[in-house]
Amino acid sequence: MILTVTLNTALDLTYRVPALTPHATHRVTQVIERPGGKGLNVARVLAALGHETVATGFAGGATGAMLRDLLAATPVRDELVATAGPTRRTVAVVDTTTGDTTQLNEPGPAITPAEWAGFRTRFTELLDGARAVALCGSLPPGIHVGAYAELIRLARAAAVPVLLDTSGEPLRRGIAARPDLVKPNADELAQLTGSREPHRATRDARRRGAHAVISSLGPEGLLAATPEGLWRAAPPAPVKGNPTGAGDSAVAGLLSGLVDEAPWPERLTRAVALSAATVLSPVAGEYDPSAYEELLPRVKVTSDSEAA
Amino acid sequence: MILTVTLNTALDLTYRVPALTPHATHRVTQVIERPGGKGLNVARVLAALGHETVATGFAGGATGAMLRDLLAATPVRDELVATAGPTRRTVAVVDTTTGDTTQLNEPGPAITPAEWAGFRTRFTELLDGARAVALCGSLPPGIHVGAYAELIRLARAAAVPVLLDTSGEPLRRGIAARPDLVKPNADELAQLTGSREPHRATRDARRRGAHAVISSLGPEGLLAATPEGLWRAAPPAPVKGNPTGAGDSAVAGLLSGLVDEAPWPERLTRAVALSAATVLSPVAGEYDPSAYEELLPRVKVTSDSEAA
């Protein structure tokens, strides 16, 4: 199975309104509730691709119970660890006239040292049987900034390939613990390396300890620096739509290719096609399966000497 | 006891953000959860004033369970009737820099005919023992527009004084069923009578069937047309703050005075002082008890021949 970790889970609410006007009253025309947090998004896509998928992380309170009810309706196995504090909500307010989204994110509960210790134990148990593990998203309050580095060391000790998708100091500390894969976007990469030039920044990120760095170039695809070579992967044409969850779908594509022992160009193809099929989907954060199948043979992967 | 009815209850969330910017991402700095809907607000104020208070209406789903947990922490007795559909949420986004509020209201679940029939039975049982009843707020989907008129006839048959605080067609139909009291604001009154002149509109509303009409003049207080006379009641000076819940506090003041058999000027004094103390409270929808005590002797009530 593939294990995904979401330390800062969320009950994601999507509200559709004709247009958001500050200081006015809005009647919400549609409400969508989903189990949220980057690792849960990755898990849903992996399960939809047919992979046995297990999700861990934290959930608590009435909102945590709602999240777990929603997760139970998916093929993802729920191995979330209970917290005393209630799971946060996020509210995405989508203007139906333009498709623009306004995001409101609750802070989430502080994790206690005992809860973190309990999680580490559960994580170690779950590694036994995992073919890959993804560590995704921000750290909740109360968890030390080196938490991902700690989980990466546990995964490496268990010989389970580990992907890290986070930002800021947790990414910096995590990379130093030598994960197999990191997947930064342009902003995360610039924050880490100080460079906005993708080739230079990707090379720099690899030097910091990651075995492979897959940098997102947004609508232009991915740039990959791996032990086996350097590639660019791009969709046949730039896609327009809602980019929510596109990065999480790319992570799912990389993990899917990894556990299938596919060569790098095939892994990148899956990642780019899933990412584009997510942008094209009418439902934010979901991918369009027929668009995915249609895109797969059309993704362009080229060897990229410039990234060397 | 005093009975309050909230057919369209809500789990009220208040989010504090520095400033709401459309199409941006916001970290919410504070989250407040409250049992919401106008009748529940009235009930909380009545209970805080020391009245034995019972709340009925509908609640369902996980959000309904959260609302009932929050209500259990107050002195209000929970007699809500279960629905299959989940209780709606409302989100009030307060800009901390200006105090301005952006409101997002979920639509709420449709009530089935069987649920409405079950509610009517429970309402009739609760009238036995009620010294007054308040019918507050909008009607949820699925309930016929004459629902408040129906409840007013049941209350009158049980000889329980009934206050109606709603708007639009439910107000128009309700007034025709001859409630003891209606408390429209300027917009509701204008919608009902076609007039924005408060004296004329208040007189007109009385002619339509209400025994007494207490019209809100916003920060300038109340205008009362009753069988015993006509009054204006005003705070000592206009108050500045958040008007959320000020109307519900005024309803609580009127009911409090009614069950204490206070003369009309005393009832209006309580209503105006509670309303102003709610505007002055730092927490939206709550009243400031010390401001209330301080305002009580300073509310000006004058006989108003012009409203005759």
- pLDDT at residue number B308: 43
Residues of A marked active site are found at 248
- pLDDT at residue number A306: 57
- pLDDT at residue number B306: 57
Average pLDDT estimate for A290-295: 96
Any B CB within 8 A of A31 CB: yes
Average pLDDT, chain B: 94
Q: Which residue has the tokens 């995915």?
A: A292
Partner-chain contact A66 B69, CB within 8 Å: no
Q: What is the pLDDT of residues B35-57, one digit of tens each?
A: 999 999 999 999 999 999 999 99
Any B CB within 8 A of A23 CB: yes
Q: Which residues, in sequence order, are CB contacts of B127 under 8 Å at separation 6+?
A: B3, B133, B154, B155, B158, B160
Q: How far apart are the first and last CA of chain A?
A: 33
**DSSP 8-state symbol, B298:** G
Q: What is the pLDDT of residues A160-171, one digit of tens each?
A: 999 999 999 999
Residues in B closer than 8 angstroms to A10, CB to CB, are: none
Which residue, B110, B2, B91, is CA-closest to B50? B2
Check whether domain B2-6+38-84+111-307 has CATH 3.50.50.60, yes or no: no
- pLDDT at residue number B129: 93
In the set B12, B180, B248, B288, the catalytic residue is B248
Q: What is the pLDDT of residues A21-47, one digit of tens each?
A: 999 999 999 999 999 999 999 999 999
**Taking 80 as the threshold, does the pLDDT of residue B184 lie above it?**
yes
List residues bridging with A225 in a β-sheet: A213, A230
Partner-chain contact A31 B106, CB within 8 Å: yes
pLDDT band at A307 (very low <50, low <70, confident <90, very high): very low
DSSP chain A: -EEEEETT-EEEEEEEES---TTSEEE-SEEEEEEESHHHHHHHHHHHTT--EEEEEEEEHHHHHHHHHHHHTSSSEE-PEEESSPPEEEEEEEETTT--EEEEE---PPPPHHHHHHHHHHHHHHHTT-SEEEEESPPPTTS-TTHHHHHHHHHHHTT--EEEE--HHHHHHHHHT--SEE---HHHHHHHHS---HHHHHHHHHHTT-SEEEEE-GGG-EEEEETTEEEEEE-SS---S--TTHHHHHHHHHHHHHHTT--HHHHHHHHHHHHHHHHH-SSTT---HHHHHHHGGG-EEEE-GGG-
Any B CB within 8 A of A96 CB: no
Residue of B nearest to A65 (CA): B62
Average pLDDT estimate for B175-189: 95
- How far apart are the CA of B112 and the nearest CA of chain A, in angstroms? 20
Residue of B nearest to A107 (CA): B28
In this complex, which of B27, B62, B106 lies closest to A105 when CB atoms are compared? B27
Residue of A nearest to B102 (CA): A23
Q: What is the pLDDT of residues B128-148, one digit of tens each?
A: 999 999 999 999 999 999 999
Structure token pair of residue A188: 């995360």
Residue of A nearest to B24 (CA): A102
How many cross-chain Cβ pairs, A to B, lie less than 8 Å apart? Answer: 83
Q: Is B187 a catalytic site residue?
A: no
* Residues listed for chain B: 308
Q: Which helix (H) or strand (E) holds B279?
A: helix B264-280
Partner-chain contact B26 A104, CB within 8 Å: yes
Partner-chain contact A20 B66, CB within 8 Å: no
Any A CB within 8 A of B187 CB: no
Check whether domain A1-143 has CATH 3.40.1130.10, yes or no: no
- How far apart are the CA of B9 and the nearest CA of chain A, in angstroms? 15
Domains in chain A: boundaries? 1-143
List residues bridging with B59 in a β-sheet: B82
- Spatial distance between the Cα atoms of A75 and A67, rounded to a whole number of angstroms: 14
Average pLDDT estimate for A6-11: 97
Pick the residue of B17, B23, B88 with the most A CBs within 10 A to test the interface with A by mutation.
B23
